[in-house]
Chain A
Amino acid sequence: MWIATSSGAQTLGATPNATVTGALTVNVDNLSPATQYFVVCRARDEAQNRDTNKVEKSATTSDDATPPTFAGIDTSSFDETNRTLNLTWLAATDDRTAQNQIVYDVYQRVNGANFDFTKPPLVTSAPGATSIDISGLPSNATLGWVVRARDEALNDDNNVVQVNGTTLVSYALDIQPIFSKNCAVVGCHVSGNPTGGMSLSSAVSYGNIVNVTSSYMGLKRIDPTVPVDTSASYLLRKTQTVSAPFAGNPMPAPGTGNSLTDDDKTKLLLWVQQKAPNN
Chain B
Amino acid sequence: MKRFRLITIGALVLAAGCSLVNTYDDIVPRVEGTYATGAEPSNDASSPDSATADATSDATDAGPPGSGGAIVVSATVEDDAGVESYVLSVLDPKDGRELSREKMVASAVRYDGLRDLWYIFESKTNDFVLAAGQPMVLHVRSLDVKTGAWTDLSQTPVPALEWYESIGVVNQRLGYVAYVDPEAGTGLQFVTINTASPSSISVINTLAIDINPVGVVATRSSTGAGGVISLVRTGVCDGSACPIELVPVRFPNGSTPIMDPPVQVSTTSKFAPASFAAMTAAERDLIITPRSSSDAAAPTFASTFDPQTHSQIGTTTTFFINDSAMRRAAISDCTNTAFVIGTNGDLFVHAVPIFEDGGGTATSAPTGHSGQSIYFEPTSKTVLVPFGQGSGHDFTAFRLGGTPDAPTLTKRLSPDWSPPNDLRPVLFGIRQPLPVTCN
Complex Cα gap A259–B392 (Å):
10
Complex Cα gap A210–B276 (Å):
33
Q: Is the CB of A195 within 8 A of B212?
A: no
- B319, chain A: closest CB distance, angstroms: 19
Complex Cα gap A218–B165 (Å):
30
**Can you list, as one digit per residue, whether each of A240-279 has a CB less than 8 Å from chain B (1) or not (0)?**
0000000001001101111110000000000000000000
Q: Is the CB of A187 within 8 A of B372?
A: yes
Q: Is the CB of B127 within 8 A of A201?
A: yes
Q: Does A125 contact B (CB under 8 A)?
A: no
B residues 364-390 near A (Cβ < 8 Å) are 368-373, 386-390
Q: Is the CB of A186 within 8 A of B373?
A: yes
- A245, chain B: closest CB distance, angstroms: 15
Q: Does B332 contact A (CB under 8 A)?
A: no
Complex Cα gap A192–B212 (Å):
8
Given contacts A187-B370, A253-B370, A255-B344, contact A195 B388 (CB under 8 A): no
Q: Does A26 contact B (CB under 8 A)?
A: no
Q: Is the CB of B344 within 8 A of A192?
A: no
B345: contacting residue among A180, A191, A255, CB under 8 A:
A255
Complex Cα gap A8–B162 (Å):
69
Contacting residues, chain B, for A184 (C-beta < 8 A): 129
Given contacts A249-B345, A255-B344, A258-B391, contact A191 B327 (CB under 8 A): no
B129: contacting residue among A190, A252, A260, CB under 8 A:
A190
Given contacts A203-B129, A256-B344, contact A193 B390 (CB under 8 A): no
Q: How many residues does chain B have at the interface if contact means C-beta atoms less than 8 Å apart? A: 39
Q: Does B214 contact A (CB under 8 A)?
A: yes
Complex Cα gap A187–B344 (Å):
9
Contacting residues, chain B, for A226 (C-beta < 8 A): none
Contacting residues, chain B, for A197 (C-beta < 8 A): 271
Contacting residues, chain A, for B125 (C-beta < 8 A): 203
Q: Does B164 contact A (CB under 8 A)?
A: yes
Q: Who on chain B is nearest to A257 by CB?
A: B369
Q: Does A76 contact B (CB under 8 A)?
A: no
Contacting residues, chain B, for A181 (C-beta < 8 A): 389-391
- B150, chain A: closest CB distance, angstroms: 23
Given contacts A185-B389, A257-B387, contact A195 B325 (CB under 8 A): yes
Complex Cα gap A99–B370 (Å):
65
Classify the secondary structure of A's interface with B.
loop
Complex Cα gap A201–B160 (Å):
14
Central interface residue in B162, B327, B390, B392, by most chain A CB within 10 Å: B390
Q: Is the CB of A188 within 8 A of B372?
A: yes
Q: Does B403 contact A (CB under 8 A)?
A: no
Q: Does A202 contact B (CB under 8 A)?
A: yes
- A259, chain B: closest CB distance, angstroms: 7
Q: Does B57 contact A (CB under 8 A)?
A: no
Contacting residues, chain A, for B427 (C-beta < 8 A): 186
- A89, chain B: closest CB distance, angstroms: 34
A188: contacting residue among B212, B343, B426, CB under 8 A:
B343
A187: contacting residue among B129, B166, B373, CB under 8 A:
B373
Contacting residues, chain B, for A203 (C-beta < 8 A): 125, 127, 129-131, 134
Central interface residue in A186, A188, A196, A197, by most chain B CB within 10 Å: A186
Contacting residues, chain A, for B120 (C-beta < 8 A): none
Given A187-B373, A255-B347: 18 more A-B contacts, CB < 8 Å: A186-B372, A187-B343, A188-B343, A188-B389, A195-B325, A201-B127, A202-B126, A203-B130, A203-B134, A249-B344, A253-B370, A255-B346, A255-B369, A256-B369, A257-B370, A257-B387, A257-B389, A259-B390
Binding site for A on B (CB under 8 A): 125-127, 129-131, 134, 162-166, 212, 214-215, 271, 273, 325, 327, 343-347, 368-373, 386-392, 426-427
User: Can you report 27 residue pairs joining A to B where beta carbons are below 8 Å apart?
Assistant: A181-B390, A186-B373, A186-B386, A186-B388, A187-B327, A187-B370, A187-B371, A187-B373, A188-B372, A192-B129, A192-B162, A193-B163, A203-B125, A203-B129, A203-B134, A204-B131, A249-B345, A255-B344, A255-B369, A256-B344, A256-B369, A256-B389, A256-B390, A257-B347, A257-B389, A257-B392, A260-B390
Q: Top 7 closest A-B pairs, CB basis?
A: A192-B163, A187-B372, A258-B390, A203-B131, A257-B369, A201-B129, A256-B370
